[in-house]
Structure 1
Amino acid sequence: HGSNIEGMLEAVELADGNPLHLAHINAYCRGTVLPEAEETELALKALAANPNISCESYLSPLNGTSAEIIDGLPGSMVTRRCLKTGGFTEDEAGMEAALLSGWAQVNYPQGQEMTLLTGEAARDYWRGQQTLVSVSFAVNPVGPRVRLATAKKADGSFAVDAVSTDGGGIPRNVLLAAGLALVDLGGLSLQELVAKISYQPARLLGLANKGSLTAGRDADITIVDRLQHSAFATIIGGQVCYMDGKVLGRGGRIITTAAGADYVRSQGLEPLVVDLADSSLLQKAQKR
């Protein structure tokens, strides 16, 4: 059924009680099959009935997909669906029209940041790159985003494990700003927000030394400006890497299993090796 509520429910059924990670649950609740509120409640009902499913949602109205055109058509079915949602034809002409109108926004590298291009600038960059660019559409309704981030099961645990994103490199990593807005609204406590954007994602990835501050764990700390809803400083491994708008650190690590560690090193990078047996996803398998 593809990337919609029917596809999500189909995936849950095919899992048949085995552990499964379903990414960004809100992407299946965009109102493409049923009204968005109905899709959201169906998703929550399925999660409550299937504790073998690990999942997260994200808080940006924007998605991320490919603008590549193959034989006159978008190569991505998600892109085609987004064009249809915006009232555009699902072909090359529709993509161009969507870019010119601002419905489609090209992810554009500007200096050290990714920005969003619209209009003729977006169209020209897309053409100049032979259509091989990423693009975003504002297809995530606010209702499902808020409901999925805050919904709880009957036992008081969260229905959706974490608030996270697969698109931090483009302008939709708004976890802190939008998450603190939910705290201000009373949808989450500050402690719950920390658990959902830090502790739980670390558990999903099997990052045993991250996600909380206790003896023996990595000294990774973000100092937050509550009034501005933004990060003031970031400390990684005890070293200040960012402060007041200035990047002070260098380098980074690639999260991998032991199977990928040698390849990461061969590329001149440092691996952060995780054991998936430590991940909450596979721990659910052990309980089964």
Structure 2
Amino acid sequence: MSGTGKRTYQTYTDNTAYFSEYDRYQERYRQEPRESDKLIVELIRAGLRSHQTAPAILDIGCSTGNLLALLRRELPEAKLSGCDLSTSSVETCRADPTLQDVEIEVADALSLQGSARYDAVTLNAMAFYFNDREFARLLSAVCRLLRTDGLLVAFDWFTPFQHQQIQMMERSLGHPEGVTYHIRSTALVERMLSDVGFTEAKFRPFELPIDLPFPGTDGEVVSYTQRTATGQRLCFRGAFVQPWYHLVARKASGAAS
């Protein structure tokens, strides 16, 4: 990665050293999936209840395929596809025997082409790397790829404060040159969804049902939980609380394909 110039989501995914370590980190969640991933599956299952028995599902930013593997176990009839900008992550997916029937490709989420052919698309913990212009392009691309009444399910950082938009840059062991995060208000995202052809947007705050240990302060920045006086689990990343939400929206009738 270059030490100069504008930081973008592409430069983040070009960090091969980081992704090599990140791919190994993801291995721990293959046998015991993330709680957030389990809820994504339940939201898809509930949202597609009236759809065909073999839905087509695309996981954008599929990483090493943990969500795809869970979808394969829980929705064995589904036709699954995945894409990621990281070549090493896609290679890991393609080498996984449990994902041999899944179509996986190296692709930029903002450059996805093709007609409406999916019943559901997932954006799992990846949209906060995009600035507002890129995020709008991403939503537009997803809408084009979905069939009418198709489902968008996202897991990401949002804020319920309608006039608050947050942009912050983190430097850490994994990102020594910095990575920029974007936290958008639910009100802004709902408007952006409506602008490109989505309706029925719903935001569901996510609280981990399990405790994650405090990692200490001298190593890599990873997620951990802290309990409040009322017993609520706050999910931290280093010094800040992660405002996780699940978002579900539908492609409206008449939206462009």
TM-score band w.r.t. shorter chain: under 0.3
TM-score using structure 2 length: 0.27
TM-score using structure 1 length: 0.25
Say which one has the larger Rg: 1
